[in-house]
């Protein structure tokens, strides 16, 4: 019984089911959405939100605490990972010119990190 | 139906809480990052839904099932979600089943339920006997 209560609490999804259903319906040539599928999709989206935030944070800021997760951390992550390709049009769409330039700079420097691991330092000094 | 584009947004407060839980203590999230994550989550729902639907249609099913979603996640490199979701799904199914049972139990007493069941099966057996006899 105690176990039961625990699982019920774990099962409590935080995102509103009705909203998730609306979003799902907007995409499909709509078939039925069973409660089970709706539950699964909602949980899945919660996992995605946390995964996305965590990955972006650790990729850019490692495991340091007390930092601020910023937009460019997200767009960098999306640009670098094939599995997030579906977000390419979504995440860059929202940025401002200043952020875009910043992102370009960060992308360039991180790209050269990978390409010429040893040459980065001297290159930066040149600039 | 979707009347306004805002209807596709997920609630800010919930997204903020989810993000906070995922990050180390004391870390912050800029507003732009939070909005972007919320948008990304909406797109994620659409992306997974349409991929799952395509998968279901390929198997000549009209509605998507939990299995379709899990398989889609595997194919789209979100396989890290699957074990935890499978667990949640099992717990959810159990919860639904328990709910159904307790509802049924509260409607009629267990003993009378058993009695009806056994008497009805007896009746069915008798009916079958009758049919045999008629032949």
pLDDT per position as a tens digit, B19-48:
998 888 888 899 999 999 999 999 999 999
Q: What is the DSSP string of chain A?
A: -HHHHHHHHHH--SS-HHHHHHHHHHHSS-----HHHHHHHHHHHHHHHHHHHHHHHHHHHTT-SS-EE-HHHHHHHHHH-GGGGGGTTTTGGG--HHHHHHHHHHHHHHHHHHH-TTTHHHHHHH-
The domain total for chain A is 1
Q: Is residue A82 part of a domain?
A: no
Residue A27 lies in a domain: yes
**Interchain CB distance below 8 Å, B50 and A27:** yes
At residue A29, the pLDDT reads 73
Q: What is the pLDDT along chain B (135 residues), one digit of tens a residue?
A: 667 777 788 999 999 999 998 888 888 899 999 999 999 999 999 999 999 999 998 998 888 999 999 999 999 999 999 999 999 999 999 988 888 888 888 876 555 545 555 555 555 555 555 555 444
| Smallest CA–CA distance from B16 into chain A, residue | A49
Q: Is B69 on the interface with A (CB under 8 A)?
A: yes
Residue A127 lies inside a defined structural domain of this protein: no
Q: For the domain that residue A52 is a member of, what is the CATH number? A: 1.10.20
Q: Which of A10, A82, A94 sits opposite B91 (nearest CB)?
A: A10
Assess contact for B42 and A18: CB atoms under 8 A: no
Domain presence at residue A115: no
Question: Residue A57 belongs to what domain range?
Answer: 1-72
Q: In chain A, which among 82-111 make CB contacts under 8 A with chain B?
A: 82-83, 86-87, 90-91, 94, 99
pTM, entire model: 0.70
Q: Residue A118's pLDDT band (boundaries 50, 70, 90)? A: very low
Rounded to a whole number, what is the distance in Å from the CA of A32 to chain B's nearest CA? 6
The residue with greater pLDDT, A3 or A11, is: A11
Within a domain: A78: no
Whether residue A119 lies inside any domain: the answer is no
Statement: residue A4 has pLDDT above 80: no
Domain-embedded: residue A117:
no
| Complex-level ipTM beyond the 0.90 threshold | no
């Amino acid at each position: 019984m105690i176990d039961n209560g625990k699982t019920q609490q774990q099962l409590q999804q935080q995102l509103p089911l009705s909203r998730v259903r609306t979003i799902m319906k907007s995409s499909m040539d709509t078939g039925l959405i069973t409660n089970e599928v709706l539950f699964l999709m909602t949980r899945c989206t919660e996992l995605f939100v946390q995964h996305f935030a965590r990955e972006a944070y650790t990729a850019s800021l490692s495991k340091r605490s007390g930092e601020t997760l910023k937009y460019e951390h997200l767009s960098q992550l999306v640009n670098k990972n094939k599995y997030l390709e579906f977000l390419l049009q979504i995440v860059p769409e929202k940025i401002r010119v200043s952020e875009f330039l910043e992102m370009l700079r960060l992308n360039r420097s991180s790209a050269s990190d990978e390409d010429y691991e040893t040459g980065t330092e001297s290159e930066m000094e040149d600039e | 139906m979707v009347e306004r584009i805002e209807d596709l947004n997920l609630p800010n407060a919930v997204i903020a809480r989810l993000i906070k839980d995922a990050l180390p203590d004391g870390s912050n999230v800029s507003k732009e990052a939070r909005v972007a994550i919320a948008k990304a989550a909406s797109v994620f729902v659409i992306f997974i839904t349409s991929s799952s639907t395509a998968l279901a249609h390929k198997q000549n099913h009209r509605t998507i099932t939990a299995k379709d979603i899990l398989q889609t996640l595997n194919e789209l490199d979100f396989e890290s979600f699957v074990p935890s979701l499978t667990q949640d799904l099992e717990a959810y199914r159990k919860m639904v089943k328990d709910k159904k049972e307790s509802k049924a139990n509260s409607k009629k007493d267990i003993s009378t339920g058993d009695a009806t069941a056994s008497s009805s099966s007896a009746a069915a057996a008798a009916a079958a006997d009758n049919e045999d006899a008629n032949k």
